[in-house]
Structure 1
Amino acid sequence: MQYFYTVRTGDSLSKIAEQHNVLLANLIAANRIQNPDQLAVGEQLSIPASMHNYIVQSGDSVYQLAGKFGVSIATIAEENQLQSPYLLKVGQRLRIPPGVPYYTVQEGDTLEVIARRFNVRTKGITKTSLIQELNQLPTTAITTGMRLKIPYAPIGESGFIAYTSRLEGGPDIWLYDVESGVNKRLTTELGATHSKPIWSMDSSKIAFVGKNQIIYIIYHESGLIGAIDQLAEGGDFTLNWSPDNETLAYTARGKIILYNTRTHESEQLDQAGVSNVNWFPNGKELLFQAVDNEGVSQLYRSSLTGTDREQITNNTEGPMHEVQLSKDGKYVLYTTPGVSISLIYVVEVASGKTFEVKGGPEAKNYFPTWASDSKQIAYSSTELKGQQYRSQIRTVHFDGKNDQIQALSNCFSTPVTWSPKNERIAYLSGCGEEYASEMWAVDIEKRFLVKLIDDNQIDALQWSPSAIADFTTAEFTSDVYEVNFQYPLGWQKVNEERYEGDDGFFQVSAISGSDNLEEVCQIEANQELQPYGSKPTILKSENPEVESCLIMPSDDQPAEMKNQAAFIVKYPTPIIIKGTTYNYFILWADKEHIKEISSTVMFLP
């Protein structure tokens, strides 16, 4: 649910953002503000900030806390069901929201207007029904002065986020469905506070170290759970899946263990003192941390037999932690030397060249994780603001350049995780004394924040590496247009060229144009009636053997176009339909499906 702040005399967006512990860019995105300099007194702003879980101290009063956190006394009282005269007890836990939990309807408002303004959208589609359901409205009619609760809409992408939660007798492993927003418990009394869910690359299995240091495997499709080994208390709990998604690498009893989850057989490599084992993408080599003859931490690579051990680094500093190999195997990151000071370094595996990530102002940089493109790193950096610590959610290029703050968390530090397409980062916030109560996701391009989970007790999280689709596909073949491709099962045929479903559509045709693909794409994208909006984006294929482009609509696309995007590709040989020659095939589809559908297009022989 979203919280709102009413603009007062003397306010500015930067002042409001600072007061509520929110980045200015996130505040602007949350309210779809076109001109940041035009702010009206009385205007209501959605505040994408975390709930403060506060433990009452000696001398605290509701009046003091209201001033400290910049909210009204009534807001704190209502959130915590306090009765006048609002007496507090030392040790009492309070939830302090960033504003009031409702939007007051203004003259001219409709559910559509409200949903658009406050980003109540899933896959780019406005979801007024979510507002209607949350407020139990019998119809879409609303009146001025009405108070409406405004939800955060599910992102709508296929995939899951596995996380560790202490709810209902945990810690245990839970699953958040990114498409539907539904949470599901996977284990019962098997987890521990150190449990971190680790997905296999095909998202078919989750490994974690649970209660009594036992390693468990969850088989995602069946829900079956198996225990495979037990580690020593306080040891290295790093788990890493092989590229073929079958074998789990970890360290135990002074050895590297390679456990095959299909055959349930294991191999043991004698590599004393090793930790942080990672697979190279070729599936034939391992990377790990171990000390050299001088007792200094170094990174090594070796074959699966333990032979051909090669030292990669020439480290002269402290121990290496959180060692993680990039997906392409070209770079490896690590943190050093410890907890109070934690710096991030990246090493080029082939040359040993080292890059330093400057990080945040306190030199407390934690939980670095690679994007699947092997170019970007997300991490949490602790910052002291006033008398309180908070975390900056940051992204940086592997060479330490282009370091940017994407969002803020009120936790001292938070694990972070990339979405499969590297478009979003999920992280934790709403921290109290012991745990985080909220899970958020930030859109890297649009800077828009979505609260995924609220009022929970979360310690760790990881997004599924692949976008797991919960639908099968059907096949479209046209002898007229000489093409074949796949589309979501369940979409219904409208005519020979068009199919529609509840969540999208596609339509096909052929066009004639010059041999210059760029010119053809520009003509389609910039038509006089602007079917793709005033500023469509044209993306040319990166495959030199395929002459094609994608046309993605801009935000001001007419609503009646239903998020239409286009894919244009040149025929290998021009086709003839009813005596007319065409040299390009064109596919129209909603922007959420255009890439997936167009990636399966094949021309008939």
Structure 2
Amino acid sequence: MQLFYVVRPGDTLIRIAKRWELPVKSLIAANNLTSPYTISVGQQLSIPPGVNKYRVKSGDSVDRISQTFGVPASLIAETNRLSPPYVLAVGQLLQIPPGVSYYVAQPGDTLSKIANRFNVTTDGQINPGYLQKVNELPSTGINPGMKLVVPYAPTGYPGFLAYTSNRGGQYDIWVYNPRTGENKLLTNGLGDVFSKPVWSPDSNRIAFVGKDRIIYIIYAETGLIAGIDQLEVGVDFSLDWSPDSSSLAYVARGMILLYNATLHEAETIMQSGASDVSWFPSGTELLFQAPDSSGISQLFRSNTYGTAKKQITRNTNGPLHDTHLSPDGTFAFYTTPGASVSIIYTVEIATGAVHEVKGGPNGKNYFPEWSPDSLRIAYSATAFEDRGYFAQIRTVDRQGSEDRIWAISNCFSTPVTWSPDGRRIAYLSGCKEQEFATEMWVIDLGHPVPIRLIEGVNIVSVQWSPTSILDLLKKEFTSEKFGVNFQYPASWQRVNDERYEGDDGFFQISALVGSNSIDRVCHDVAYQKSMPYGSAPQIIKTQNSYEQSCTILPSADQPIEMKGQAAFITEYPSPQTIDGVSYNYFILWADKEHINEISTTIMFLP
């Protein structure tokens, strides 16, 4: 729920933002204020999460602190469990909430107006129904003076967020769906507190190092999980997928390993001391950290055979950590020298030129992540040491310029992750006494108001899927009658033995008796007198020698009642007998958006 501050005489947006160390633009976005951003006494403002701690100084009292921050003394006392006469000790750390957990309805307010003003939106549309549901209102009508909880609605953002949590009693990999607000468990007892989910570029696989340091791969289309290797204690746990999503690079036993998750075999490169392996976009070269001949940490590139090795950096200082190549392969970043002091640097791959990211005030800059377009880095910068530590969510360009603070987490540090379109950043917060995060948040850089996605469960890592996938898991369809097996979106429901439907599509199967010419069969199906595929359907033949098949795509004038139906026709390996009749072709109908996705998974039963 959002917290609300009541504007008092002398307040300005800048002064209010400064009290909780907030970016002013975040405060503006949280309330959808318009230029010239005028506020009035008595106005209620939603206050995003900020630095809500204050260290007591000599001469302080609850009343004086209340006046400084503009919040009721009773609220400060209640939040910190203080009892009259509210005696404070110098150096005591108090939590100062920016306001109360409800909004008081004003004359002229409606649920729609409140939802619009305070960003209760889903997929860009206001969601007054969610406001009504959370407040358990019998109707949409509200009266002045009503106290309303203003929630954070499911955002409707694309993709899925994979995260590690013990919300089920043990550490596992979960996924959060921003469109629905639903959480789904992917593993069962395989994770650990150090597990970090790593999506493949096509979002079809997730790799992680789990319990007993075993590397697992989750095949998202089927839900199957494979353990592929076991790492030693204390080694580099970083994983990186190849650009084509087929192979996973990691370091084990003094070697760089490239594991092909389709063929289930690995290639090895002997490289002592290597860590943080990244793939170049070509898929034929690797970037990694390793010691030079003098034992000093450097960045190198080589081909996937381990030859043509070339040193990129000329480092003379401490070890290079957290190395990762930009998606376009032109820059890399690393942190150095360690954990207590961590400075981010970027290096130009072509020239070796190094740029320092100045970062936060304490020299504690963690979890750098490249934006999808390779132009920016998001990272966590620890700050406000005197108030118990908070993390600033920052971005900077790849040459260390245009550093900007977007949001505040109350954790010492937090992982950050970009949305598939590069418009948003997700991060963790909700730390208590520097323990694990218990909340997941997201901020839209175009409208920078933090929105809470998850609360009340321990979360240790998070990564957004690289693509805007709509369905994470697929189900398998098997028909003994038609002798076929394939995958389809998990949300679709059975209509009958041959047809399944969902909100976004459908499939139906049958068999055909036809001539020995696949071209003739495809033409006859596409150009029926009733024109089910329109007047000018497109026939696409499969271009290989071991499969005789075609795909029929409808033209723009296809009848609307056909619901975008397309077709895939393929020849059976041997004729299929169904109810005493021998059929030599299998046909799949599906909406044109799913026809290729489904047809590429077809397998005939033995």
- Which category describes the TM-score, using the shorter chain as reference length? 0.7 to 0.9
TM-score by length of 1: 0.73
In the TM superposition, 1:401-480 aligns within 5 A as: 401-432=401-432, 433-470=434-471, 472=504
Deviations 1:37-86 (A, max 9, x none): 522222111111169799xxxxxx99999899875465478779x79889
| CA 319–83 in structure 1, closer or farther in 2 if over 3 Å, else same | closer
Give how far 1:393 is off.
1.2
In structure 2, C-alpha distance between the alignment counterparts of 1:42 and 1:185, rounded to whole Å = 45
Q: Which residue of 2 aligns with 1:252?
A: 252
2:180 equivalent to 1:180: yes
Deviations 1:532-576 (A, max 9, x none): xxxxxxxxxxxxxxxxxxxxxxxxxxxxxxxxxxxxxxxxxxxxx
8 Å CA contact retained: 1:51, 1:98? no
8 Å CA contact retained: 1:214, 1:230? yes
In structure 2, C-alpha distance between the alignment counterparts of 1:404 and 1:273, rounded to whole Å = 35
In structure 2, C-alpha distance between the alignment counterparts of 1:202 and 1:171, rounded to whole Å = 25
SS in 2 for 1:32: coil
Deviations 1:101-128 (A, max 9, x none): 1111011101111111101111221100
In structure 2, C-alpha distance between the alignment counterparts of 1:9 and 1:379, rounded to whole Å = 37
Letter in 2 for 1:443: D
Q: Which residue of 1 aligns with 2:33?
A: 33
| CA 196–451 in structure 1, closer or farther in 2 if over 3 Å, else same | same
Give how far 1:198 is off.
0.6
SS in 2 for 1:129: helix
Give how far 1:229 is off.
1.2
In structure 2, C-alpha distance between the alignment counterparts of 1:138 and 1:481, rounded to whole Å = 53
SS in 1 for 2:457: coil
Give how far 1:480 is off.
11
Give how far 1:144 is off.
0.7
Deviations 1:417-450 (A, max 9, x none): 1000010011112222211122111111222221
SS in 2 for 1:133: helix
Q: Which residue of 2 aligns with 1:44?
A: 44
Q: Which residue of 2 aligns with 1:530?
A: none
In structure 2, C-alpha distance between the alignment counterparts of 1:65 and 1:257, rounded to whole Å = 58
Q: Which residue of 2 aligns with 1:378?
A: 378
Q: Which residue of 2 aligns with 1:267?
A: 267
SS in 1 for 2:9: coil
In structure 2, C-alpha distance between the alignment counterparts of 1:368 and 1:308, rounded to whole Å = 28
| CA 417–153 in structure 1, closer or farther in 2 if over 3 Å, else same | same
8 Å CA contact retained: 1:50, 1:97? no
8 Å CA contact retained: 2:428, 2:439? yes
Deviations 1:495-515 (A, max 9, x none): 99999x9xxxxxxxxxxxxxx
Give how far 1:481 is off.
13
Give how far 1:301 is off.
1.1
Give how far 1:206 is off.
1.1
Identity %, equivalent residues: 52
Q: Which residue of 2 aligns with 1:305?
A: 305
Q: Which residue of 1 aligns with 2:579?
A: none
| CA 270–10 in structure 1, closer or farther in 2 if over 3 Å, else same | same
Q: Which residue of 2 aligns with 1:102?
A: 102
Q: Which moved more, 1:211-220 or 1:251-260?
A: 211-220
Q: Which moved more, 1:105-114 or 1:376-385?
A: 376-385
Q: Which residue of 2 aligns with 1:23?
A: 23
Letter in 2 for 1:155: T
In structure 1, C-alpha distance between the alignment counterparts of 2:74 and 2:172, rounded to whole Å = 36
| CA 214–76 in structure 1, closer or farther in 2 if over 3 Å, else same | farther
In the TM superposition, 1:49-64 aligns within 5 A as: 49=49
Q: Which residue of 2 aligns with 1:564?
A: none
Give how far 1:464 is off.
0.5
Structure 1 unaligned runs (5+)? 55-60, 484-494, 502-595, 597-605
Give how far 1:19 is off.
2.4
RMSD: 3.7
Structure 2 unaligned runs (5+)? 55-60, 88-92, 472-502, 507-531, 539-556, 564-592, 594-606
Deviations 1:218-273 (A, max 9, x none): 22232222211111111100101111112111001111111121222112211111
SS in 2 for 1:227: strand
In structure 2, C-alpha distance between the alignment counterparts of 1:190 and 1:66, rounded to whole Å = 48
In structure 2, C-alpha distance between the alignment counterparts of 1:119 and 1:33, rounded to whole Å = 11
Q: Which residue of 2 aligns with 1:278?
A: 278
TM-score by length of 2: 0.72
Give how far 1:188 is off.
2.8
8 Å CA contact retained: 2:8, 2:70? no
Give how far 1:457 is off.
1.4
| CA 13–421 in structure 1, closer or farther in 2 if over 3 Å, else same | same
Letter in 2 for 1:200: S
Give how far 1:289 is off.
0.6
The number of residue pairs the alignment matches comes to 487
SS in 2 for 1:300: strand
Letter in 1 for 2:220: H
Q: Which residue of 1 aligns with 2:214?
A: 214
8 Å CA contact retained: 1:28, 1:36? no
SS in 1 for 2:389: strand
| CA 403–438 in structure 1, closer or farther in 2 if over 3 Å, else same | same
8 Å CA contact retained: 2:391, 2:412? yes
Q: Which residue of 1 aligns with 2:159?
A: 159
Give how far 1:96 is off.
7.4
Deviations 1:449-501 (A, max 9, x none): 21111222111111101011247569xx9989999xxxxxxxxxxx99999x9
Letter in 1 for 2:49: A
| CA 345–498 in structure 1, closer or farther in 2 if over 3 Å, else same | farther
Give how far 1:279 is off.
1.0
In structure 2, C-alpha distance between the alignment counterparts of 1:24 and 1:385, rounded to whole Å = 22
Deviations 1:354-384 (A, max 9, x none): 2222222222211111111111111111223
Letter in 2 for 1:34: T
8 Å CA contact retained: 2:163, 2:173? yes
